[in-house]
Structure 1
Amino acid sequence: MLLWSACVPAFATEAPMQVYTRATHTLDREWKAIVDPYENGYYDYRYQPFDQRAEPPRGAYFMDAKPASPTELIEYDFDQAMSLQVPGDWNTQDPKLYYYEGTVWYRKRFDAPARRPSDRVFLEFGAANYRADVYLNGRKLGVHEGGFTPFRFEVGDRLQDRDNSLVVKVDNKRRADGVPTLNTDWWNYGGITRSVELAVVPAVFVRDYRIALESLEDREVAASVQLDGARGGEKVTLSLPELGIRETAAATAEGRADFRFRVPDAQLWSPTDPRLYRLEIATTDDTLADRVGLRTIATRGKQLLLNGEPLFLRGISVHEEYSADGGGRVRNAEEAKQLLLWARQLDANFVRLAHYPHNEHMVRLADELGLLVWSEIPVYWTIDWNDEGTYRNAQAQLEAMIGRDINRASVVVWSLANETPVSEPRNRFLSRLAARARALDGSRLLSAAMEKHYREDDPDVAVVEDPLAELVDLVSFNQYIGWYDGSLDKIDRVRWQIPYDKPVFVSEFGADAGQGLHADPGAIWTEEYQADLYRRTLAMLDRIDGYVGTSPWILADFRSPRRVLPGVQDDYNRKGVLSEKGVPKQAALVLRDYYRRKADEAR
């Protein structure tokens, strides 16, 4: 969610913008940083923000000032400060910051990229957690809230040819009105966690596009292109050269050009054949190239259909964390690919990217590798359902997630929430989100990870019944029978009551196990216990009517401050089928063998 001070020009925008495939000027690698737990660089001693003044004092950190004389008092110096790498979290770059929650100021000096007088320049952030106040050459560009979505500012008229100062105040304090809120089960990594770039584009440029296979029977594709800076009448050409497609349309006064054409010879994208085609969009002054897959995803009764054929989701849940080398948040495409390759080694064809939008590398690599994707916003557990600002924040994150990834063939599910307790305010909140998601994209499935309860007259009958289930396409729920809910024997007794004519997906199950910890199968925390729970649970799930897949919790052990048991957890949630280093536990082999059987049955 982008916010601006009333005294700051609105140079920022939330509208989607395709940047990933453009040539950009990177601002990654070393940044200078000042840790500021009392926010002295932002507030005066009366707790009034410096950036609300018409003339901010040079002592405000965003001014990036040096003493003009031996008598001027400036109590900071970025040049002498510590360094942090961008992208990256601060928690794993300095032991002093491991548990830190608060403000860190980042500063990057750079020369402006080469450009023509008519060109426009956008400053693009992949993500910063959680609130980012952004300043260029001492002037505020704006504010973004939300730790996992991209944001940008148009900065061409504020750039100096040499020695620009970009200062970002990043604050990861948890907030009751935030999305997510105060209580989560993952590490609150702070910092500029994804890349920062400058994109130089012409005055009228291709900002965004949409493309989707709209009709499986007719192989009809619908596409649209959005120009920025257009006045209407501009010629837009869309090409798929490998399919012999070259279509031209004129942009409207709003800059939109629409296309509709057939692709009778196209190979449809699927996990077994992740075919991607080169897409080229050209105007008089600009060209945008990308690679896209064409496929359909739908439901029919209790069936899930990919390209019209029944689909079983052999999934695994994944956090955006790579700690095999001591790191935290995924920093680059290589780390993202390693997580997806670990999933592939389980014979998975699906990943649930929990509990927030992951970096763009993940979804684009999933396109390449043939992994279906569930993408989620961090409406997690119990947030402030009655606060309109919280809702707007959640909707902004939903819009940013869909806007960035709507053209990725791998993404088949948009998820609205995880384990949210039923109440009227919650139902209204999620109903609004569902309506917004469908307005933005009608070509994918909608879901959310719901919860179960038991029948009062029969404690062995688990019930999934939630008003949210009426709004989604895929009835998904989390369950932890045998770990948080009863003993292993209970798994064998439970029967399921799910009163919807829709596919059923089990979005989480699991148990903690220390990799290398062995004992009798009845002893918790052991690999044997976790493996036995997997065997029993998978057999139980196969008995559910309409069951179309699962994404057990989770691929690899991940950090969580909730998990403090010494010698076992040590700040890690140990439900991974792999250790944080990628070493398989016994449950990984149980899951892999199950998925191989499922794949054989589908052939």
Structure 2
Amino acid sequence: MTSRNLMNALTAAVLLLAGTFSSRPLRAQSTLIQNMPGRTVLSLNGSWNYIIDPYENGFYDYRREAFDQSKTGKGGYYDNAKPSSKQETELIEYDFDKSQAMQIPGDWNSQRPELLYYEGTIWYKKNFNLMPKPGKRYFLYFGAINYESHIYLNGKKLGMHKGGFTPIQYDITDQLASTGENFVVVKADNTRRPNEVPTINTDWWNYGGITRDVFIAETPDTYITDYKVQLAKNDPNTLAGYVQLAGTGKASQSVTLNINEAGIKQTVKTDGEGRATFSLPAKKLARWSPQSPKLYAVSLTSGLDVVQDRIGFRTIQTKGADILLNGKSIYMRGISMHDENPLIPGRARGEGDLRMLLTWAKELGCNYVRLAHYPHNETMLKLADEMGLLVWAEVPVYWTIAWENPATYQNAEQQLSDLISMGKNRASVVVWSVGNETPLGEPRLKFMSSLAQKARSLDDTRLISAALELHRTPDNVIHVDDPLGEFLDLTSINEYAGWYWGGKPSEITKYTFDIKYNKPVTISEFGGDALGGYHADAETRWSEEYQEALYVNQLKMLSTIQNLRGMTPWILTDFRATRRQHPVYQNGFNRKGLISSTGVKKKAFYVLQDFYRQMAQKYDGKQGK
């Protein structure tokens, strides 16, 4: 059996097993079309009618059988049914057009006070006009829907998707109405379940709904569905990659790669499966870096299809204790962040929110951000490319997952694959993270190491890591010896000395580190809460002075780690978290932000900013100022 056939057989086996663990087996969508927002699009953002459905009456009949699995496929809210006349005898107990409206993209929690803590199903409906053109294909795209979504067009089901942070797309060419009058209905369900990814226990707000852009993209009948244009692994002077066509005429087609500014142009032919690879000299390409985030206009042309992108070119690798960007040792001056603007309730709504967050990171002195704990908006990756920020991108394998459930693993792997597909042409992305703070154990090791191996098989040009836990011994030694570290390029650890353990901030410098692996060390989290504007002495919890002292002493303690090459303290801004319930200091916010929920910088911000100035001078010299 060939390796490809073996992989297909294993995948089929996992999917078969998945059905035995879940009453709703995961229905995989096709491979994501690369750079979908860069296509000609019809935006469906704006006002959508919605119906709150905690009993899922619009999905199941009174016997708890799904309408869309019945012989007729009719009866659910997705029919968007209307009485045909006053004499209509059919009972219809819903009406989208007379229901309230909500803005999309946007979570439901922040738009309606009564939905602040709601977990369950809400149905959305949007009408749109589109007359299909001959020779064109049309794709319905959702940037993200949290968490399980069932999507219908003109009463017909397109599919089901699990995962609250990765794109969803379906070819709707054959389902569009000839009249041009169409409607799309979405069942969004943010219910937490123990076998899902993430699982029921998280430390962020469970925002429900359609939280990112919605549009319809147009392509020719034969179109470019996927591509990778990057420097080759271990060969920085070679530009390598592939182009994949889809459609009726994908075989034996000419595809032209053009980077006009660099004088690069090459035409290749697709094989019988519509795939073409290329490899050509790249010495003329300027290297992307935080100091010089150079992006090139890249075009790919095949027949009637032209795809435009802006791509940077750089290498990232490790050598012993060093992280090498373009062959030069760097210190990754980072900060963690959530996909949330603290000034406005709810998920980040678009480029303005995202640019503000990254601007704050730049002001802090960062050359690096950790986008925790799930895939962030694709726009965030493009902004990081533009603004010169390295990125750690992560999937929500968070805390304790159902390690032995094949369907859970398949879900995690699909989210990881979609994340890598979305970010593989972004120069800013240098780390794929397969999880955060997962407990030791054989089932977990198998789960996590398999994810690491999957990530490496999909993209061997970036670093693989995970945020590991640690353990302490009575002699004040912090030990890092997680066996998962064998599969990773970085030793990345979360530690909270001075907050969750270790005594007062002034006492934590007594700790030393025993790290098993001779690899670059990055501290993926440390920190403590402070209520912005609350001032006291350095030993009073929740005060800005306590957080300030914690940062001062953390930096002293961490600087004793010989292999330390970066950090992403927790966290850039205060963020909303249901589990944070102290009525004075928290009020539904995790207060570990260096910037308060009102946008004011806390005292610890300036401690880290000064430390990063020193690191920039040490590693980058004048370029780092």
**TM-score, normalising length from structure 2?**
0.93
- 3-state secondary structure, aligned to 1:428: helix
- Sequence identity of aligned pairs in percent? 49
Which of 600, 612, 622 aligns to 1:595? It is: 612
Instruction: Give yes or no for contact 2:45–2:105 (8 Å, CA) kept in 1.
Output: yes
Work out whether 1:260 is the aligned partner of 2:279. yes
Q: Deviations over 1:332-376 (max 9, x none)?
A: 111111111111110111000000000011100000000000000
Which of 161, 166, 171 aligns to 1:144? It is: 161
Distance 2:584 2:215 in 1: 42
The one-letter code matched in structure 1 to 2:561 is: I
Instruction: Give yes or no for contact 1:301–1:503 (8 Å, CA) kept in 2.
Output: yes
Q: How far has the Cα of 1:11 moved from its partner?
A: 10
Distance 2:526 2:235 in 1: 37
1:433-448 superposed matches below 5 A: 433-448=451-466
1:569-580 superposed matches below 5 A: 569-580=586-597
Instruction: Give yes or no for contact 1:212–1:222 (8 Å, CA) kept in 2.
Output: yes
Q: Which residue number corresponds to residue 384 of structure 1?
A: 402
Number of aligned positions between the proteins: 597
The one-letter code matched in structure 2 to 1:221 is: L
* More divergent stretch after superposition (66-75 vs 476-485): 66-75
Which of 432, 454, 475 aligns to 1:459? It is: 475
Q: How far has the Cα of 1:265 moved from its partner?
A: 2.2
Q: Which residue number corresponds to residue 320 of structure 1?
A: 339
Which of 545, 548, 554 aligns to 2:565? It is: 548
Distance 1:140 1:101 in 2: 23
Q: Which residue number corresponds to residue 99 of structure 1?
A: 117
Q: Which residue number corresponds to residue 329 of structure 1?
A: 347
The one-letter code matched in structure 2 to 1:522 is: E
Distance 2:56 2:453 in 1: 39
1:45-84 superposed matches below 5 A: 45-58=62-75, 60-70=76-86, 71-84=89-102
RMSD between aligned residues: 1.9
Instruction: Give yes or no for contact 1:218–1:262 (8 Å, CA) kept in 2.
Output: no
Q: Which residue number corresponds to residue 53 of structure 2?
A: 36
Instruction: Give yes or no for contact 1:216–1:308 (8 Å, CA) kept in 2.
Output: no
Q: How far has the Cα of 1:450 moved from its partner?
A: 0.2
Q: Which residue number corresponds to residue 535 of structure 1?
A: 552
Q: Which residue number corresponds to residue 237 of structure 1?
A: 256
Going from structure 1 to structure 2, the CA distance change for 1:235 and 1:469 (only over 3 Å counts) comes to: same
1:49-198 superposed matches below 5 A: 49-58=66-75, 60-70=76-86, 71-112=89-130, 114-160=131-177, 161-198=179-216
- 3-state secondary structure, aligned to 1:90: coil
Q: How far has the Cα of 1:327 moved from its partner?
A: 2.5
Q: Which residue number corresponds to residue 281 of structure 1?
A: 300
1:442-521 superposed matches below 5 A: 442-455=460-473, 458-487=474-503, 488-521=505-538
Going from structure 1 to structure 2, the CA distance change for 1:11 and 1:530 (only over 3 Å counts) comes to: closer
Q: Deviations over 1:173-203 (max 9, x none)?
A: 0000000000000000000001111111111
Which of 423, 436, 446 aligns to 1:405? It is: 423
Instruction: Give yes or no for contact 1:215–1:221 (8 Å, CA) kept in 2.
Output: no
**TM-score, normalising length from structure 1?**
0.96
Instruction: Give yes or no for contact 1:16–1:400 (8 Å, CA) kept in 2.
Output: no
- 3-state secondary structure, aligned to 2:555: helix
Q: Deviations over 1:121-151 (max 9, x none)?
A: 1111111000000011111111000000011
Q: Which residue number corresponds to residue 206 of structure 1?
A: 224
Instruction: Give yes or no for contact 1:14–1:151 (8 Å, CA) kept in 2.
Output: no
Distance 2:74 2:566 in 1: 58
Q: Deviations over 1:437-491 (max 9, x none)?
A: 1110000000000011023xx4311000111100000000000000001212331
Instruction: Give yes or no for contact 1:276–1:292 (8 Å, CA) kept in 2.
Output: yes
- 3-state secondary structure, aligned to 2:40: coil
Going from structure 1 to structure 2, the CA distance change for 1:276 and 1:67 (only over 3 Å counts) comes to: same
Q: Which residue number corresponds to residue 316 of structure 2?
A: 297
Q: Which residue number corresponds to residue 4 of structure 2?
A: none
Q: Deviations over 1:481-535 (max 9, x none)?
A: 0000121233110000002110000000000000000011100000000000000
Q: Deviations over 1:273-332 (max 9, x none)?
A: 0000010100111100100000000000011100000010100000001131x3311111
Going from structure 1 to structure 2, the CA distance change for 1:341 and 1:335 (only over 3 Å counts) comes to: same
Instruction: Give yes or no for contact 1:11–1:154 (8 Å, CA) kept in 2.
Output: no
- 3-state secondary structure, aligned to 1:88: coil
Q: Which residue number corresponds to residue 447 of structure 2?
A: 429
Going from structure 1 to structure 2, the CA distance change for 1:11 and 1:402 (only over 3 Å counts) comes to: closer
The one-letter code matched in structure 1 to 2:599 is: G
Instruction: Give yes or no for contact 1:107–1:166 (8 Å, CA) kept in 2.
Output: yes
The one-letter code matched in structure 1 to 2:566 is: G
Distance 2:251 2:464 in 1: 35
Distance 1:104 1:65 in 2: 17
Q: How far has the Cα of 1:94 moved from its partner?
A: 0.7
The one-letter code matched in structure 2 to 1:404 is: M
The one-letter code matched in structure 2 to 1:435 is: Q
Distance 1:342 1:11 in 2: 37
Q: How far has the Cα of 1:215 moved from its partner?
A: 6.0
Q: Which residue number corresponds to residue 340 of structure 1?
A: 358
* More divergent stretch after superposition (197-206 vs 570-579): 197-206
* More divergent stretch after superposition (212-221 vs 20-29): 212-221
- 3-state secondary structure, aligned to 1:383: coil
Distance 1:22 1:66 in 2: 35
Q: How far has the Cα of 1:72 moved from its partner?
A: 3.0
Q: How far has the Cα of 1:216 moved from its partner?
A: 6.7
Q: Deviations over 1:203-246 (max 9, x none)?
A: 11111110111267661111211111244210000011000001
Going from structure 1 to structure 2, the CA distance change for 1:153 and 1:518 (only over 3 Å counts) comes to: same
Distance 2:488 2:548 in 1: 32
Q: How far has the Cα of 1:24 moved from its partner?
A: 0.6
Going from structure 1 to structure 2, the CA distance change for 1:531 and 1:567 (only over 3 Å counts) comes to: same
Distance 1:586 1:218 in 2: 42
Q: Deviations over 1:377-408 (max 9, x none)?
A: 00000010000000000000000000011000
Q: Deviations over 1:553-583 (max 9, x none)?
A: 0000000011000121000000000012321
Instruction: Give yes or no for contact 1:366–1:373 (8 Å, CA) kept in 2.
Output: yes
The one-letter code matched in structure 1 to 2:397 is: V
Distance 1:169 1:18 in 2: 25
Going from structure 1 to structure 2, the CA distance change for 1:515 and 1:599 (only over 3 Å counts) comes to: same
- 3-state secondary structure, aligned to 1:513: coil
Instruction: Give yes or no for contact 1:11–1:141 (8 Å, CA) kept in 2.
Output: no
Distance 2:261 2:598 in 1: 41
Distance 2:104 2:383 in 1: 21
* More divergent stretch after superposition (64-73 vs 41-50): 64-73
* More divergent stretch after superposition (360-369 vs 209-218): 209-218
The one-letter code matched in structure 1 to 2:311 is: V
Going from structure 1 to structure 2, the CA distance change for 1:218 and 1:410 (only over 3 Å counts) comes to: closer
Q: Which residue number corresponds to residue 370 of structure 1?
A: 388
Distance 2:211 2:531 in 1: 28
- 3-state secondary structure, aligned to 2:456: helix
Gaps of 5+ in 1: none
